[in-house]
C-alpha cells in the first residue's frame, strides 16, 4: 500500500517489534489452546468476535469489549503505536484476546484481556502470555497495568504481587486513564513466571495448522441464546 504524505503525518512512529513465538497450552479439559500473535488481516475476525460482548454489562464485558474494539481498529488503521495483539485459539475458534503496547524499550502498557471461553482460566493464561512478551521478548523493565473489573484487579494485584504506584498519580498515569496504576517489574515477574506462565514451543505442526485460520465463536456463555 503506498502511503501518501497526509497518511504519513497521521501515523505514529513505529518501533519494529520482535514477533511473539506461538506456543500451545493444554487446558484442563484436555483441549489444546494455541497462543499466537494475531495478524492485521485477521482484524475483521477479531472485531466480529468482540462485537456481541459490547452489549453485555455483567462482569464489565461491555467496557472491556468496546475499548478492545477501539484498540484493534487503532492497531489495524495505524493510529496506535507499537501495539501487539495475542490470541488464544482452540481448534481455530477464538477463546480469548489480549492487547498491549510497547511504549519504549523500558516500558510496556498493558491494555486489555478478554475471555470468551470460560471455566478454563483462559484469561489468566493470556494475561501471562502478554507479560511474557513484554518482559521476556521485548526486554522491557516494567509493565503498567490497570483493571476495570474488581475480581480481575485482585487476581492480578495479589497473585502477581504488583507494585502499587497509585500514590504517584498523576506523574505515573496509565494510558487508559485508570487509577490506580499497578506495575509488574522484571523482579516480580521472575518470582511468579514459573507458576503463571506455561506452554510448549515450538507448536506441533497440526496444532499450528488448526490455528492458521481464526474462527469467530458461534456460542458465547456470556450471551445465552446467541446466534451468529
Residues in touch with other proteins (CB under 8 A): 25-30, 119-121, 125, 150-151, 154, 158-159, 161, 192, 194-200
Burial class of 60 by CB neighbour count within 10 A (0 to 12, 13 to 18, 19+)? middle
Q: Rounded to the nearest whole angstrom, what is the least distance from the CB of residue 160 to other proteins in the complex? A: 8
Closest CB to other proteins among 108 and 152?
152
Q: Rounded to the nearest whole angstrom, what is the least distance from the CB of residue 143 to other proteins in the complex? A: 18
Report residue 217: phi and psi, to 5°. -65, 145
Q: Rounded to the nearest whole angstrom, what is the least distance from the CB of residue 23 to other proteins in the complex? A: 10
Closest CB to other proteins among 29 and 104?
29
**Spatial distance between the Cα atoms of 122 and 100, rounded to a whole number of angstroms:** 17
Closest CB to other proteins among 80 and 98?
98
Closest CB to other proteins among 192 and 216?
192
- Chain centroid to CA 77: how far? 18
Closest CB to other proteins among 81 and 157?
157
Please enumerate in sequence order all residues whose Cβ is within 8 A of that of 65, keeping only pairs 6 or more positions apart, or say none.
Answer: 50, 51, 53, 54, 56, 114
Taking a C-beta distance cutoff of 8 angstroms, is the pair 174, 146 a contact?
Answer: yes
**Spatial distance between the Cα atoms of 205 and 138, rounded to a whole number of angstroms:** 26
Please enumerate in sequence order all residues whose Cβ is within 8 A of that of 199, keeping only pairs 6 or more positions apart, or say none.
Answer: 23, 24, 25, 35, 125, 129
**Spatial distance between the Cα atoms of 226 and 228, rounded to a whole number of angstroms:** 7
Q: Rounded to the nearest whole angstrom, what is the least distance from the CB of residue 43 to other proteins in the complex? A: 29
Q: Rounded to the nearest whole angstrom, what is the least distance from the CB of residue 225 to other proteins in the complex? A: 16
Closest CB to other proteins among 45 and 161?
161
Q: Rounded to the nearest whole angstrom, what is the least distance from the CB of residue 8 to other proteins in the complex? A: 44
Amino acid at each position: 500500500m503506498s502511503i501518501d504524505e497526509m497518511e504519513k503525518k497521521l501515523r505514529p512512529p513505529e518501533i519494529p517489534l520482535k514477533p511473539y513465538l506461538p506456543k500451545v497450552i493444554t487446558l484442563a479439559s484436555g483441549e489444546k489452546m494455541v497462543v499466537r500473535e494475531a495478524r492485521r488481516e485477521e482484524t475483521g475476525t477479531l472485531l466480529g468476535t468482540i462485537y456481541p460482548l459490547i452489549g453485555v454489562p455483567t462482569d464489565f464485558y461491555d467496557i472491556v469489549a468496546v475499548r478492545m474494539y477501539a484498540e484493534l481498529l487503532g492497531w489495524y488503521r495505524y493510529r496506535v503505536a507499537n501495539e501487539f495483539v495475542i490470541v488464544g485459539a482452540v481448534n481455530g475458534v477464538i477463546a480469548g484476546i489480549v492487547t498491549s503496547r510497547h511504549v519504549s524499550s523500558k516500558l510496556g502498557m498493558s491494555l486489555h484481556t478478554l475471555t470468551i471461553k470460560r471455566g478454563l482460566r483462559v484469561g489468566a493464561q493470556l494475561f501471562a502470555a502478554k507479560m511474557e512478551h513484554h518482559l521476556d521478548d521485548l526486554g522491557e523493565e516494567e509493565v503498567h497495568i490497570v483493571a476495570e473489573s474488581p475480581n480481575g484487579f485482585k487476581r492480578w494485584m495479589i497473585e502477581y504481587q504488583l507494585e502499587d504506584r497509585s500514590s504517584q498519580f498523576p506523574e505515573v498515569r496509565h494510558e487508559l486513564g485508570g487509577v490506580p496504576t499497578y506495575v509488574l517489574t522484571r523482579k516480580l515477574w521472575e518470582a511468579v513466571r514459573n507458576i503463571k506462565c506455561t506452554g510448549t514451543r515450538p507448536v506441533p505442526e497440526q496444532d499450528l495448522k488448526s490455528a492458521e485460520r481464526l474462527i469467530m465463536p458461534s456460542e458465547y456463555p456470556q450471551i445465552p441464546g446467541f446466534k451468529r
